[in-house]
Protein backbone atom coordinates (compact mmCIF):
# COMPACT_ATOMS: atom_id res chain seq x y z
CA UNK A 1 0.00 0.00 0.00
CA UNK A 2 1.32 3.40 -0.99
CA UNK A 3 2.46 5.44 2.03
CA UNK A 4 0.48 8.62 2.54
CA UNK A 5 1.75 11.86 4.01
CA UNK A 6 0.09 15.09 5.04
CA UNK A 7 -0.48 17.42 2.12
CA UNK A 8 1.27 20.40 3.76
CA UNK A 9 4.37 18.28 4.37
CA UNK A 10 4.46 17.21 0.73
CA UNK A 11 4.12 20.83 -0.42
CA UNK A 12 7.03 21.77 1.85
CA UNK A 13 9.07 18.87 0.52
CA UNK A 14 8.48 20.22 -2.99
CA UNK A 15 10.09 23.50 -1.98
CA UNK A 16 7.00 25.71 -1.75
CA UNK A 17 7.80 27.01 1.73
CA UNK A 18 7.52 26.12 5.39
CA UNK A 19 4.72 23.80 6.49
CA UNK A 20 2.90 26.72 8.07
CA UNK A 21 3.04 28.67 4.80
CA UNK A 22 1.90 25.59 2.88
CA UNK A 23 -1.10 25.34 5.19
CA UNK A 24 -2.14 28.83 4.07
CA UNK A 25 -1.91 27.69 0.42
CA UNK A 26 -4.27 24.81 1.19
CA UNK A 27 -6.84 26.81 3.16
CA UNK A 28 -6.80 29.49 0.43
CA UNK A 29 -7.95 26.86 -2.09
CA UNK A 30 -4.79 27.04 -4.20
CA UNK A 31 -4.03 23.31 -4.08
CA UNK A 32 -5.75 20.42 -5.85
CA UNK A 33 -5.31 16.66 -5.63
CA UNK A 34 -6.31 14.61 -8.69
CA UNK A 35 -8.17 17.60 -10.08
CA UNK A 36 -10.18 18.37 -6.92
CA UNK A 37 -9.48 21.48 -4.83
CA UNK A 38 -8.51 20.59 -1.28
CA UNK A 39 -8.89 22.97 1.67
CA UNK A 40 -8.77 20.53 4.61
CA UNK A 41 -5.47 20.58 6.49
CA UNK A 42 -5.80 16.95 7.57
CA UNK A 43 -5.74 15.70 3.98
CA UNK A 44 -3.19 13.01 3.17
CA UNK A 45 -1.81 12.16 -0.24
CA UNK A 46 0.13 9.35 -1.92
CA UNK A 47 2.63 11.35 -4.02
CA UNK A 48 3.63 8.41 -6.22
CA UNK A 49 0.08 7.74 -7.41
CA UNK A 50 -1.74 11.07 -7.01
CA UNK A 51 -1.30 14.35 -8.88
CA UNK A 52 -0.88 17.45 -6.71
CA UNK A 53 -1.17 20.88 -8.31
CA UNK A 54 -0.51 24.26 -6.70
CA UNK A 55 -1.27 27.53 -8.48
CA UNK A 56 -1.67 25.60 -11.72
CA UNK A 57 1.70 23.85 -11.50
CA UNK A 58 2.05 20.09 -11.05
CA UNK A 59 4.37 19.36 -8.18
CA UNK A 60 7.18 16.85 -7.87
CA UNK A 61 9.49 16.35 -4.95
CA UNK A 62 12.95 17.69 -5.68
CA UNK A 63 16.23 16.29 -4.36
CA UNK A 64 16.93 18.00 -1.02
CA UNK A 65 19.26 20.98 -1.13
CA UNK A 66 20.39 23.26 1.69
CA UNK A 67 22.19 26.52 1.01
CA UNK A 68 24.30 28.57 3.40
CA UNK A 69 24.26 32.28 2.54
CA UNK A 70 25.81 35.41 4.01
CA UNK A 71 22.91 37.86 3.95
CA UNK A 72 24.01 41.45 3.46
CA UNK A 73 22.17 44.33 5.16
CA UNK A 74 19.12 45.74 3.33
CA UNK A 75 18.13 42.32 1.98
CA UNK A 76 14.87 40.74 3.14
CA UNK A 77 14.15 37.08 3.89
CA UNK A 78 10.80 36.74 2.10
CA UNK A 79 10.19 35.16 -1.30
CA UNK A 80 9.19 38.46 -2.87
CA UNK A 81 8.66 42.05 -1.78
CA UNK A 82 5.91 44.42 -2.95
CA UNK A 83 8.32 47.34 -2.39
CA UNK A 84 10.81 45.83 -4.83
CA UNK A 85 13.63 45.41 -2.32
CA UNK A 86 16.28 42.75 -2.87
CA UNK A 87 15.37 39.37 -1.36
CA UNK A 88 17.55 36.45 -0.33
CA UNK A 89 16.14 34.47 -3.26
CA UNK A 90 17.30 37.23 -5.65
CA UNK A 91 20.85 36.34 -4.58
CA UNK A 92 20.17 32.74 -5.67
CA UNK A 93 18.73 33.53 -9.11
CA UNK A 94 20.85 30.87 -10.84
CA UNK A 95 19.77 28.08 -8.46
CA UNK A 96 17.59 25.51 -10.30
CA UNK A 97 15.77 24.19 -7.20
CA UNK A 98 12.84 25.96 -5.54
CA UNK A 99 13.93 26.90 -2.03
CA UNK A 100 12.85 29.07 0.91
CA UNK A 101 14.54 30.60 3.92
CA UNK A 102 14.58 28.88 7.30
CA UNK A 103 13.93 31.57 9.89
CA UNK A 104 14.78 35.19 9.28
CA UNK A 105 17.20 38.00 9.85
CA UNK A 106 15.70 41.48 9.89
CA UNK A 107 16.25 44.02 7.11
CA UNK A 108 19.42 45.62 8.49
CA UNK A 109 20.91 42.48 10.08
CA UNK A 110 23.42 40.35 8.23
CA UNK A 111 25.15 37.01 8.35
CA UNK A 112 24.32 33.34 8.16
CA UNK A 113 20.93 32.34 6.77
CA UNK A 114 19.87 28.85 5.66
CA UNK A 115 17.84 28.31 2.50
CA UNK A 116 16.42 24.88 1.70
CA UNK A 117 13.73 22.74 0.10
CA UNK A 118 14.11 20.11 2.81
CA UNK A 119 10.77 20.33 4.60
CA UNK A 120 11.78 17.97 7.39
CA UNK A 121 14.93 19.91 8.21
CA UNK A 122 13.15 23.26 8.07
CA UNK A 123 10.33 22.01 10.30
CA UNK A 124 12.79 20.62 12.85
CA UNK A 125 14.82 23.85 12.95
CA UNK A 126 11.76 26.07 13.36
CA UNK A 127 9.93 23.95 15.94
CA UNK A 128 9.92 25.82 19.30
CA UNK A 129 11.22 22.80 21.25
CA UNK A 130 14.07 22.07 18.83
CA UNK A 131 15.77 25.46 18.63
CA UNK A 132 19.52 25.02 18.28
CA UNK A 133 21.83 27.69 19.62
CA UNK A 134 22.63 30.63 17.38
CA UNK A 135 25.62 32.92 17.79
CA UNK A 136 25.73 36.61 16.88
CA UNK A 137 28.16 39.48 16.93
CA UNK A 138 26.80 42.92 17.73
CA UNK A 139 28.55 46.30 17.70
CA UNK A 140 27.11 49.06 19.91
CA UNK A 141 28.03 52.61 20.88
CA UNK A 142 28.60 52.32 24.66
CA UNK A 143 29.73 49.29 26.71
CA UNK A 144 27.20 47.30 28.73
CA UNK A 145 27.69 47.38 32.47
CA UNK A 146 28.30 44.33 34.67
CA UNK A 147 24.74 44.31 36.02
CA UNK A 148 23.28 44.78 32.54
CA UNK A 149 25.17 41.71 31.34
CA UNK A 150 23.81 39.71 34.28
CA UNK A 151 20.24 40.90 33.62
CA UNK A 152 20.49 39.75 29.99
CA UNK A 153 21.30 36.20 31.08
CA UNK A 154 18.55 36.17 33.73
CA UNK A 155 15.93 37.52 31.33
CA UNK A 156 14.23 40.87 30.77
CA UNK A 157 10.45 41.33 30.35
CA UNK A 158 9.76 43.11 27.07
CA UNK A 159 6.54 43.39 25.07
CA UNK A 160 4.87 40.50 26.87
CA UNK A 161 7.90 38.23 26.35
CA UNK A 162 11.03 37.44 28.33
CA UNK A 163 14.20 38.17 26.41
CA UNK A 164 17.35 36.43 27.57
CA UNK A 165 20.70 35.30 26.25
CA UNK A 166 22.44 32.02 26.96
CA UNK A 167 25.84 33.68 26.98
CA UNK A 168 27.48 37.05 26.32
CA UNK A 169 31.15 37.92 26.56
CA UNK A 170 32.65 41.00 28.25
CA UNK A 171 32.99 42.88 24.97
CA UNK A 172 35.90 44.62 23.32
CA UNK A 173 36.48 48.00 21.72
CA UNK A 174 36.86 48.02 17.92
CA UNK A 175 36.74 50.62 15.15
CA UNK A 176 33.12 49.61 14.49
CA UNK A 177 32.05 50.05 18.12
CA UNK A 178 32.01 47.90 21.23
CA UNK A 179 31.77 44.30 19.99
CA UNK A 180 29.96 41.52 21.87
CA UNK A 181 29.45 37.87 21.03
CA UNK A 182 25.99 36.65 22.05
CA UNK A 183 24.53 33.14 22.09
CA UNK A 184 20.76 32.74 21.91
CA UNK A 185 18.77 29.61 22.67
CA UNK A 186 15.44 30.71 21.25
CA UNK A 187 15.49 33.82 19.13
CA UNK A 188 12.42 36.04 19.24
CA UNK A 189 11.62 38.82 16.77
CA UNK A 190 14.37 41.50 16.89
CA UNK A 191 15.64 39.77 20.04
CA UNK A 192 19.07 41.38 20.34
CA UNK A 193 17.98 44.78 19.06
CA UNK A 194 15.19 44.90 21.66
CA UNK A 195 17.64 44.01 24.42
CA UNK A 196 19.96 46.81 23.35
CA UNK A 197 17.07 49.27 23.10
CA UNK A 198 16.10 48.29 26.66
CA UNK A 199 19.50 49.52 27.86
CA UNK A 200 19.52 52.57 25.55
CA UNK A 201 22.36 51.23 23.43
CA UNK A 202 22.66 52.08 19.75
CA UNK A 203 23.31 49.11 17.46
CA UNK A 204 25.80 49.87 14.69
CA UNK A 205 25.91 46.36 13.25
CA UNK A 206 24.40 42.93 13.94
CA UNK A 207 25.68 39.71 12.36
CA UNK A 208 24.77 36.05 12.85
CA UNK A 209 27.87 33.88 12.66
CA UNK A 210 26.56 30.40 13.55
CA UNK A 211 23.45 28.21 13.59
CA UNK A 212 24.26 25.26 15.82
CA UNK A 213 27.41 23.64 14.35
CA UNK A 214 27.05 25.49 11.03
CA UNK A 215 29.46 28.43 10.77
CA UNK A 216 29.55 31.48 8.51
CA UNK A 217 33.33 31.19 8.17
CA UNK A 218 34.75 32.79 5.02
CA UNK A 219 31.53 33.50 3.10
CA UNK A 220 31.54 37.11 1.95
CA UNK A 221 28.34 39.23 1.95
CA UNK A 222 26.03 37.97 -0.79
CA UNK A 223 28.01 34.74 -1.31
CA UNK A 224 26.51 31.29 -0.83
CA UNK A 225 27.41 27.64 -1.01
CA UNK A 226 25.71 24.29 -0.64
CA UNK A 227 25.90 22.77 2.83
CA UNK A 228 28.22 19.79 3.12
CA UNK A 229 26.74 16.41 4.09
CA UNK A 230 28.96 16.36 7.19
CA UNK A 231 27.60 19.76 8.27
CA UNK A 232 24.00 18.62 7.85
CA UNK A 233 24.75 15.46 9.82
CA UNK A 234 26.10 17.55 12.71
CA UNK A 235 23.11 19.88 12.49
CA UNK A 236 20.60 17.03 12.65
CA UNK A 237 22.52 15.62 15.62
CA UNK A 238 22.27 18.98 17.41
CA UNK A 239 18.51 19.12 16.70
CA UNK A 240 18.05 15.57 18.03
CA UNK A 241 20.02 16.40 21.19
CA UNK A 242 17.93 19.51 21.76
CA UNK A 243 14.76 17.50 21.22
CA UNK A 244 15.96 14.86 23.70
CA UNK A 245 16.86 17.45 26.34
CA UNK A 246 13.29 18.76 26.18
CA UNK A 247 11.86 15.30 26.79
CA UNK A 248 10.37 14.95 23.31
Check which CATH number belongs to the domain holding 118 and give it: 3.30.70.580
Mean pLDDT of 61-79: 91
Q: Looking at the structure, do residues 173 and 77 belong to the same domain, yes or no?
A: no
CA distances from 163 to 139, 145, 159 (A): 19, 17, 9
Q: Looking at the structure, do residues 124 and 221 belong to the same domain, yes or no?
A: yes
**144-188 residue pLDDT tens:** 999 999 999 999 999 899 999 999 999 999 999 999 999 999 888
CA–CA gap between residue 77 and residue 81 (Å, rounded)? 9
**107-151 residue pLDDT tens:** 999 999 999 988 888 888 887 677 789 999 999 999 999 999 999
Say which CATH number the domain at 147 has.
Answer: 3.30.70.1560
pLDDT at residue 1 is higher than 60 = no
Position 216 scores a pLDDT of: 95
Position 117 scores a pLDDT of: 87
Q: Looking at the structure, do residues 13 and 121 belong to the same domain, yes or no?
A: no
Q: Looking at the structure, do residues 43 and 98 belong to the same domain, yes or no?
A: no
Position 41 scores a pLDDT of: 92
Q: pLDDT band at residue 99, thresholds of 50, 70 and 90?
A: confident
CA–CA gap between residue 226 and residue 168 (Å, rounded)? 30
Rg over alpha carbons for the chain, rounded to the nearest Å, is 20
Position 200 scores a pLDDT of: 97
Chain centre distance of CA 248: 21
Q: Looking at the structure, do residues 54 and 172 belong to the same domain, yes or no?
A: no
CA–CA gap between residue 22 and residue 119 (Å, rounded)? 10
Say which CATH number the domain at 28 has.
Answer: 3.10.290.10
Q: Looking at the structure, do residues 101 and 221 belong to the same domain, yes or no?
A: yes
Catalytic residue among 34, 48, 106, 200: 106
Position 154 scores a pLDDT of: 96
Q: Looking at the structure, do residues 21 and 89 belong to the same domain, yes or no?
A: no
Position 244 scores a pLDDT of: 63
Position 181 scores a pLDDT of: 98
pLDDT at residue 54 is higher than 60 = yes
Mean pLDDT of 95-104: 86
**Which contacts qualify for 199-203: CB closer than 8 Å, 24 or more apart?**
199/144, 199/148, 201/140, 201/141, 201/142, 201/144, 202/140, 202/141, 202/142, 203/138, 203/139, 203/140
Q: Looking at the structure, do residues 88 and 201 belong to the same domain, yes or no?
A: no
Q: What's the total number of domains in the chain?
A: 3
Contact 79, 87 (CB under 8 A): yes
| Domain range enclosing 154 | 133-211
Q: Which residue has the higher pLDDT, 2 or 197?
A: 197
Q: Looking at the structure, do residues 53 and 90 belong to the same domain, yes or no?
A: no
Catalytic (active site) residue 94: no
Q: Looking at the structure, do residues 168 and 142 belong to the same domain, yes or no?
A: yes
Of the candidates 82, 114, 117, the one whose C-alpha atom is nearest the C-alpha of residue 99 is 117
Q: Looking at the structure, do residues 116 and 219 belong to the same domain, yes or no?
A: yes
Q: Looking at the structure, do residues 139 and 200 belong to the same domain, yes or no?
A: yes
Position 246 scores a pLDDT of: 63
Amino acid sequence: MQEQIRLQKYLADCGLGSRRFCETLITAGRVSVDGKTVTELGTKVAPDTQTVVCNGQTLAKEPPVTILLNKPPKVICTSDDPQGRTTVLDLLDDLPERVYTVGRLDFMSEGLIMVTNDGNLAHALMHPSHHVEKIYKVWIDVPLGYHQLKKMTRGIPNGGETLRVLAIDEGRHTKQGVEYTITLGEGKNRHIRRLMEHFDKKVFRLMRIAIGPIRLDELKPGEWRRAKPAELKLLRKAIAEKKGSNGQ
